[in-house]
Structure 1
């Protein structure tokens, strides 16, 4: 098998794994219904693509094969995500630039080493590439339905939590109530007038039933305030979630990068044993300055 054929095989592996990774992203952010097995499969897929990229950036010398395969992978992105082409294009340009930079850094590190240290070689470029990839993932999440759904989701305080929190303040609250009201278990209709009850329903969508107590009313009022208060800031929730996802992925990368490099090293050893690739010693001329 010729060197070019081997490089094409590596390039095809990058394309195939990249396509599956885009599909997984689409499934996660647009389909949902995720199980533990799905997350394990997705993590494994991400790891395999990382290994493929590491091997490709190091072993593929033909720039047409290297950059062409990655460009095809980026092109496949459009099959799954095309709702915001301008922003996605900007993200993909950043990712491609990071890939070119990471590849150049990896090859430069390989050239200056006397005895190959794969850890140092891949460590030079992989983190930069992953950072750009995480930006694309955060963009996909930002434009998916999930952040908007979370922003619209109603927040409800668990009743048990509310009862526990309000209990120490019951005496303080009853002191401010009309004379004769000694606890919060009195029916709310005995404190509020029919007009006030109707106004609560019409203006604030707080409906009080006849047998509901004053404590029930306070509980509903607390939930209402909890959902109304952040209204002016809800538009910032999607971008906040996207940034949080990006930062979370960056934290995960502290584990992912060493693991990817370790597995890439093991795959490299297997490829060397199978004679798919080889290590050669070269004599290089270098410039020195002397007196």
Structure 2
């Protein structure tokens, strides 16, 4: 056994750990788990299921990773959990594997900051660079885009989508999709503008932020139908070609949303 594995840890036969992986006291790693270099598994963590974990992740003590879905339809199928690189996963986080009713794989991207007591249910697809604050509860099949921030204590309904660069205030109840760039909060969640400060920090220009604000006004403040609003945003793109790239995620999201948009 590697010197990086505490003698009280249990590593099942078949588990594949890079020699650099650090495993703390009383951690349990099951047979179908693969962990790449530089990752730390804290004390009392359990990593289960068909789980693949990338490089330089840090699992704090008592997290439970790769458990079977909390779905009564689950019949023991060999579904998966895939976690990328450079993620921080704090105390008592639970992340479940997927189900055959969806893609069969729960996925976590890279460079995510997942705080204590977060639950990520089966088949969720989490992008990269997200912040998911303490006690967020994500039901099954939720998609979260890159750079999104979900405030502490938020509960999100199954199948919703949370767009890239959006920000949700704490204790929100999310029942419908949240488009990219949008800022909001509440029970139920209500939009309140765009995440201007976050966009500035990520290098969006003043012109790009102004274009996103205009799209937000068209959708939320002009009392247009969704179809009328999207047509007006497309016209705005044609009149301002340099905004096409930054507005396209907004348009694409509205054309493919699954549970309706909270307006």
* TM interval, short-chain normalised: under 0.3
- Tell which has more relative contact order, 1 or 2 (C-alpha 8 A, sep 6+): 1
Larger helix proportion of the pair = 1
Alignment TM-score, normalising by the size of structure 2: 0.23
Question: Which structure shows the bigger proportion of residues in strand conformation?
Answer: 2
Of the two, which has the highest radius of gyration? 1
In the superposition, the TM-score normalised over structure 1's length comes to: 0.21
